[in-house]
């Protein structure tokens, strides 16, 4: 198997000020700070979630529009990425072994993460420290094993659903289109396997799918470029909607979650990197652009193109393997949403309602987290995974509503850890299988993250850009 080669790059002639201002990381951080300030200003001017003012409405529109743009690309991205990733296995030596090792490491890291979550839940006791003013929200999504299994059966080719609501006063009807990510994944896997079985006759279809994936990813790069603007609106709107007082009653729960996320990201992952003979600093500098975008977008699928890019160009994973492992991870590898969060949240609910968990229920938390992570399917939020865990343990689903208020705040950290793990596992597997380009892995992180997308769009330029490491911001 060939590995990714590193092309020679022109020297960076930007001055220090321009380097700072054009740094993707600086832009994201600046947007976070400005968004918080704008949200606090809007709240001081009297804005609330129920009674917005002009500033808060503007922030909400900016943030909502950015999320809408990301979601618009989810369906074609999932379908084309999974079909292309399965088809790429025909070019990989020992494809079955690589796929098996990838799934094994997914389960291994998920097991470590859920054990950490259980330990923190028992030590910190967040449910016993919940504030008296805690109010229930509406758990808009409920997951059970039966719903999960029946939800795998596609209702149509694209997994689309249409819902219609009628206003009782005006009589007007409003229809909205949704999609079931799990069904899209099932359809894409079936199509990809069928294309492989069809052999040469399916080559035109596979070539078209890979070309379509390139086009969709280019559109997503344009969306990613305006991530700082979306960050400004999303953070500002969150401050207006939730404020800091919502954290008071769930403070210990939020602390437990973020301690768990920090332990996995900054302790467990570095240990895995180091024990496999790789540089911890190079891992973080390589994966950090994707982690930043994941933090603000709260979507593993929306971050998928950047995750795949840094995995190939910064971490040195061969494209033929990364194009399979990273999309698979974006839909099933969820150490934050499917391991740490449901473990601590389930213990919180049990403690809050005064329910004593038995030893076998802790085992079930581990089993559900390792096996059921596909229920999160790379979308924002982990409510489905939490309700799936609670229903398996026989805990009150009403407990989900208690945690909804601060879910967006927690989801930022959860998604960042998810994406870091989605890049880590292919890197470790590639290293252990002897196919990692360690020269590229250890190369300096220079240039701009998207510099190679701003110029020539010719095939030659694109091929050259595929060999260039992405900057760490």
Is the pLDDT confidence value at 468 over 80?
A: no
Strand partners, 345: none
Strand partners, 173: 166
The reported pLDDT for the residue numbered 104 is: 92
- Closest CA relative to residue 69, chosen from 256, 176, 227: 227
The reported pLDDT for the residue numbered 347 is: 92
- Closest CA relative to residue 323, chosen from 192, 222, 412, 460: 192
**In the predicted model, what is the mean pLDDT of residues 366-383?**
64
Question: How far is CA 136 from each of CA 250, 348, 394, rounded to the nearest angstrom?
Answer: 12, 14, 19
Q: Check residues 133 and 33 and name the one with the higher pLDDT.
A: 33
**In the predicted model, what is the mean pLDDT of residues 100-109?**
91
Non-local (6+) Cβ contacts of 298 within 8 A are: 380, 381, 408, 411, 412, 415
Q: Which of 27-31, 182-186, 438-442 has the highest mean pLDDT?
A: 438-442
**What one-character DSSP code corresponds to residue 95?**
H
Place of tokens 């969709």: 216
- Closest CA relative to residue 191, chosen from 88, 99, 82, 89: 82
Q: Check residues 448 and 81 and name the one with the higher pLDDT.
A: 81
CA distance linking residue 414 with residue 337, whole number of Å:
6
Helix residue ranges per DSSP H, 226-299: 227-242, 246-249, 251-263, 269-275, 280-297
Two structure tokens written together for 456: 């020539």
CA distance linking residue 55 with residue 240, whole number of Å:
10
User: pLDDT, tens digit, for every residue of 267-316?
Assistant: 999 999 999 999 999 999 999 989 988 887 777 877 888 898 899 999 99
CA distance linking residue 351 with residue 400, whole number of Å:
13
pTM: 0.75
User: pLDDT, tens digit, for every residue of 161-217?
Assistant: 666 666 666 666 666 666 666 677 778 888 888 988 888 888 898 889 888 888 887
CA distance linking residue 390 with residue 384, whole number of Å:
10
The reported pLDDT for the residue numbered 232 is: 86
pLDDT-based confidence at 463, cuts 50/70/90? very low
Place of tokens 């969060």: 341
Return mean pLDDT, the chain. Answer: 77
Residue 138: CA atoms inside 13 Å, Cβ hemisphere, count?
A: 1
pLDDT-based confidence at 39, cuts 50/70/90? confident
CB 331 within 8 A of CB 185: yes
């Amino acid at each position: 198997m060939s590995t990714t080669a590193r092309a020679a790059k022109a020297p960076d002639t930007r001055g220090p000020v321009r380097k700072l201002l054009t740094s993707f990381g600086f832009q994201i951080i600046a947007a976070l700070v400005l968004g918080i300030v704008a949200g606090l200003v809007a709240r001081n001017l009297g804005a609330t979630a129920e009674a917005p003012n002009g500033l808060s409405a503007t922030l909400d529109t900016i943030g909502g529009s950015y999320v809408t743009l990301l979601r618009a690309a989810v369906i074609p991205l999932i379908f084309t990425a999974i079909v292309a990733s399965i088809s790429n296995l025909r070019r990989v030596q020992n494809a079955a072994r690589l796929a098996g090792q990838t799934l094994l490491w997914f389960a291994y890291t998920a097991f470590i993460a859920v054990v950490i979550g259980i330990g923190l839940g028992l030590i910190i006791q967040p449910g016993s420290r919940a504030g008296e003013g805690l109010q229930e929200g509406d758990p808009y999504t409920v997951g059970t094993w039966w719903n999960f299994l029946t939800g795998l059966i596609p209702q149509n080719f694209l997994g689309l659903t249409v819902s219609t609501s009628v206003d009782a006063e005006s009589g007007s009807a409003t229809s909205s289109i949704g999609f079931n990510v799990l069904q899209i994944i099932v359809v894409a896997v079936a199509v990809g396997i069928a294309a492989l079985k069809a052999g040469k006759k399916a080559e035109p279809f596979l070539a078209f799918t890979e070309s379509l994936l390139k086009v969709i990813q280019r559109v997503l790069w344009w969306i990613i470029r305006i991530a700082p603007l979306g960050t400004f609106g999303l953070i500002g709107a969150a401050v207006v909607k939730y404020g800091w007082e919502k954290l008071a009653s769930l403070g210990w729960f939020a602390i437990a979650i973020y301690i768990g996320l920090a332990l996995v990201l900054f302790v467990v992952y570095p240990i895995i990197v180091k024990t496999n003979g790789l540089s911890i600093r190079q891992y973080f500098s390589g994966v950090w652009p994707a982690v930043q975008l994941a933090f603000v977008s709260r979507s593993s699928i929306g971050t998928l193109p950047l995750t795949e890019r840094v995995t190939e160009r910064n971490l040195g994973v061969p494209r033929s393997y990364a194009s399979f492992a990273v999309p698979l991870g974006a839909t099933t590898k969820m150490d934050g949403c499917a391991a740490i969060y449901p473990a601590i949240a389930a213990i919180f609910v049990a403690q809050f309602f005064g329910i004593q968990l038995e030893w076998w229920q802790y085992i079930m938390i581990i089993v559900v987290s390792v096996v059921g992570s596909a229920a999160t399917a790379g979308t924002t939020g982990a409510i489905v995974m939490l309700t799936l865990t609670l229903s398996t343990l026989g805990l009150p689903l009403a407990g989900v509503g208690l945690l909804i208020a601060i879910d967006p705040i927690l989801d930022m950290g959860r998604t960042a850890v998810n994406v870091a793990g989605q890049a880590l596992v292919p890197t470790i597997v590639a290293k252990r299988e002897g196919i990692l380009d360690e020269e590229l892995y250890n190369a300096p992180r220079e240039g701009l993250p998207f510099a190679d997308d701003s110029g020539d769009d010719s095939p030659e330029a694109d091929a050259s850009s595929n060999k260039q490491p992405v900057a760490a911001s």
